[in-house]
Every structure is written in structure tokens, then in C-alpha cells.
Amino acid sequence: MSSALTRDALEAFWMPFTANRQFKDQPRLLARAEGMHYWTPEGRKVLDGCAGLWCVNAGHGRKEITAAVAEQMATLDYAPTFQMGHPAGFELANRLVKLAPGDLNHVFFTNSGSESVDTALKIAIAYHRVKGDASRQRLIGREKGYHGVGFGGISVGGLANNRKYFGAMLPGVDHLRHTLDIEHNAFSRGVPEWGAHLADDLERLVTLHDASTIAAVIVEPMAGSAGVILPPKGYLQKLRAICDKHGILLIFDEVITGFGRLGTAFGAQYFDVMPDIITTAKGLTNGAIPMGAVFVRKQIYDAFMKGPDGIELFHGYTYSAHPAACAAGLATQEIYEREGLLTRGAELAKAWEDAVHSLRSAPNVIDIRNLGLVAGVELQSRAGAVGARGYEALVKCFEKGVLIRTTGDTIALSPPLIISTAQIDELVTRIGEVLKTIA
Ligand code: PXG
């Protein structure tokens, strides 16, 4: 990539979730990556504090993944998976279900987290229908939830900016209240003690709509995009119990928490709560090739296999189980296992927690939240300018050689799981230095 991209050359690409004019006036380009670092086109080294976008869990430039994809492409570049199949798809599915808790032993492949979410919502509604319960069509999400950008995902999602421009969305959707409460829980270490009762909000919605109309509840076990919002202690267990009581499916959106982010393969294992469906993407292939996977419990899959012979689920993507993605997925899972990365977050969690909470004394910090290898550092918003302080932190950190993510005025950190304790210190120290310069 040329380091001399002119302003004009940046124009054609309408960039996603980006302030395009601001970016194109002052671009931040990444040209190369290896291990824990990116390099800019000018050769400046940048420590990756967010695993790309929460996806490069094994670190950058993993040669095993490159080699596996290259070999797969040279052998079988593409094969349909509608009424046909290829070995790598089955191999990856078999490998993945071994990681999942309980009987989540069937996998539907997609190409992104958004597609995983829409797939899961469709499976949930269709499941009740094939069981003869077609009135269960309603979906329950949660305020501040992020479930990608498909119409299903934004309908159950709870971030106003992602919804308000896009019209009416899916009918029959309602939302639980969110679990962020700085007044009670500021600077909690790990899951906050206060707030399990917030799960009772589901009983309110069941009373309002009647259980017989509700297909599923979807939540992120730990919400990432809204700025790292943790479930209070016991909250997810309560949600599970209420779903069980009323025959409602529980979907965990683990696009971020899947594949080791919390120190276990999935968040379901971390919290010891068994969902009926898990959605994943991101870390599945270490971010190297787009791919998502929806894990489904045996009883759900089996319910579809009881009808007359023929196609059981009228759903799928041209690129479901794309050979290149399967090769990347298999090579990634091999690395995770060989290097113990799915549990490395647990080993580092305490050092991580201590490091990020050291930012408590930095200017404008009003809350710090952490779990596994994730942290959110919330800054006080400037009056009338929500997000301005966060954006300034992003720009200045990048100039100082650290890549962070900000959402509004919250800094979200989720480094690759290969991070060393020295790199944790470096990341946090530089962020602290930057925060001191921000008024
Ligand atoms: N569900 C969850 C829980 C996610 O975090 C998606 C679905 C959608 O995945 P795709 O692959 O369609 O983007 C996500 C994606 C951020 C950030 O910095 C988070 C995501 C994507 C981009 C940025 O918070 N999460």
C-alpha cells in the first residue's frame, strides 16, 4: 500500500461506522501487522489494544493460517454447500462443537456476526413453528445491545444511533432494560454485585405480551460495543430460569465473548449458564477470513429433522462454510489449542484487572469495568459534546503508538490473547499519559 494516498484517493470508499470527512481529512492508515503490532505506511509501530476489532485473538500474521488458506484455495477454491458438501466444512463443525458447552452440537455457518444473529433469530422462530407453536414469533433484545447491522440484528439491538435512521424494523420486538448502573457499580472489579434483579424485567415483558407469543431472548453475555457492560452477578442465571419457566429460547450473542475473550472458550462456560443458541464470528478465524457460526442445541436441530423428507431449513448463504474460511477456522482452532489461548485470558485476568484499574486516578475517568481480557474505561462526556473526549483519546493514542477502540466516551480494550504482561503495562501506561493531556 502506498503511504502517499491523496485526499482524492480516499474518496470512493464509503467507510463503515466512520466519520468519513473527518477521517479523510486526517487519515489513520494501517499497512502491515505482526504479533501484537500494526505498522503504519510510514513504518510507525502501533500496539494493538483491541485485536483489530475484537477478532485477532491469536495475534497478527499467523503463518499457519496463511498457509492453510493458500493450500485450500489451490486445492478447492469454492464449493457449494446447498445440496453438496466439502470435507473442510464438516471437519470444522466437528472441531467447533467439541469446544461448545453441553449439547450445543450443531453448527450453521455464516459469514459475519450480523448474519449469525439473523440466522439465530430465524432458527428460533422456525423452531417453535416446526414444533406446532407458530404463535411464538416475538423476539426480546435488550437496551444497549449490539447484534450487528442486519434488520433482525438492529431490531433486537438497543443502540439508538443504529436504529433511528432505518425505519420500522421487525414487528413484535421488545427490549429488556440494560444493566449499566454506574451509580451502584462504578469501578467494580469483574462482574458487579448489584443488579441481578434487573433480569426480572423479562417477567414484566412476559406478562405484557404473554409467553405464548415469545420465541426467544437474545443478549450478549457481556455487551462489548456499547462500551463493555457486564452482567451483574446472578443476572444471566435468572434470565435462564425465567426463559425455562416460560418455554422461551435463550440466545447468547458471543460474537465478542466467543473464542477465549473471557478466559474460557465461550462466555456460556465463563458464566456457567447454558444458552439454547450461541452466535459467533470474529475470533472463529482470527479475523483472517470472514466467517460466522451459529451453535444450536441438539433438541432444536432434532426438531427440524422430524418433518417429511426434504429441505428442513430454508436458509443459507452462497458462502456458508466457504472453503477458505473453513481452512482459516481450522488453522485458528489448532493455534488456540496448541498455545492454550482459549484459557490464557483467565491466567492474565488479574494482572489485566490491576493494570486497567490503575487508570482510576487519570483525569475524567468516571468508571472502569473489566472481565477476562476486556476492559471499558468510561470518561465523563463534555457538556453538549458526547463522544468528543473519547475521539480525542483515540486520535492521541494512535499518535502515541497505541490502537484503542472508543464508543462514545468509553475506551474499550480487548487485546490479542497473546499479549505479554509487559505489553499490558505499556498499553495502560500510554493510555494514562494520553488521558493526562486531555482536558
Ligand atoms: N454481535 C455482536 C455481539 C457483535 O459484537 C456483531 C454481532 C456483528 O458482527 P459483524 O461481523 O457483522 O460486524 C458484533 C460486531 C466495536 C465493534 O468496536 C464491535 C463489533 C463490530 C465492529 C466494532 O465495538 N461487533
Pairwise CA distance, residues 325 & 288, whole Å: 8
Question: pLDDT above 90 covers what percent of the chain?
Answer: 98
CATH number of 64-339: 3.40.640.10
Calculate how far, in angstroms, residue 54's C-alpha sits from the geometric centre of ligand 1.
8
Q: How far is ligand 1, taken at its centre, from the CA of residue 148, in Å?
A: 6
The per-residue b/e assignment along 207-229, b for 16 or more CB within 10 angstroms, e otherwise, is: eeeebeebbbbbbbbbbbbbbbb
CA-based radius of gyration for the chain: 22
For residue 1, the model assigns a pLDDT of 44
Using one digit for the tens of pLDDT, what is the confidence trace for 421-437?
A: 999 999 999 999 999 99
Residue to probe by mutation, ligand 1, list 17, 18, 50, 54, most atoms within 8 Å of CB = 54
* Span 33-48, average pLDDT: 98
Is the beta carbon of 118 within 6 A of some atom in ligand 1? no
* Arithmetic mean of pLDDT, 256-265: 98
The pLDDT value given to residue 184: 97
Q: How confident is the model at residue 307 (pLDDT cuts 50, 70, 90)?
A: confident
CB of 117 shorter than 6 A to ligand 1: yes
pLDDT tens column, 174-231: 999 999 999 999 999 999 999 999 999 999 999 999 999 999 999 999 999 999 999 9
**What pLDDT shows up at residue 98?**
98
Round the average pLDDT of the chain to a whole number and report it: 97
Residue pair 92/321 in contact by the 8 Å Cβ criterion: yes
Average confidence (pLDDT) over 286-291: 98
Interval 112-152: pLDDT, tens: 999 999 999 999 999 999 999 999 999 999 999 999 999 99
Q: Does domain 31-49+340-436 have CATH number 3.50.50.60?
A: no
Q: Which of 99, 107, 101, 106 is nearest to 275 (CA)?
A: 101
Cα-to-centroid distance, 253 and ligand 1 (Å) = 10
Measured CA to CA, the distance from residue 144 to residue 125 in angstroms comes to: 23
User: Residue whose CA is closest, atom 20 of ligand 1?
Assistant: 225
How far is C-alpha 170 from the chain's CA centre? 22
Question: Reading across the β-sheet that carries 410-413, which strands appear in turn?
Answer: 365-371, 374-379, 410-413, 405-407
User: Ligand 1 centre and the CA of 256: distance in Å?
Assistant: 7
Confidence of residue 2 (pLDDT cuts 50, 70, 90): very low
Centroid of ligand 1 to alpha carbon of 144 (angstroms): 13
Q: Do domains 31-49+340-436 and 64-339 have the same CATH topology?
A: no
341-357 vs 421-436: helix crossing angle, rounded to 10: 40
Kindly state if the Cβ of 407 falls inside 6 Å of ligand 1.
Answer: yes
What are the domain boundaries of the chain? Answer: 31-49+340-436, 64-339
The atom number, within ligand 1, closest to the CA of 292 reads 11
Mapped onto helix, strand or coil, the DSSP state of residue 98 is: helix
Residue bearing the CA closest to ligand 1, atom 22: 53
Residue 260, pLDDT > 90, answer: yes
Residue 320 has pLDDT above 60, yes or no: yes
pLDDT band at 5 (very low <50, low <70, confident <90, very high): confident
Residue nearest to atom 17 of ligand 1 (CA): 225
Position 344 confidence tier, pLDDT thresholds 50, 70, 90: very high
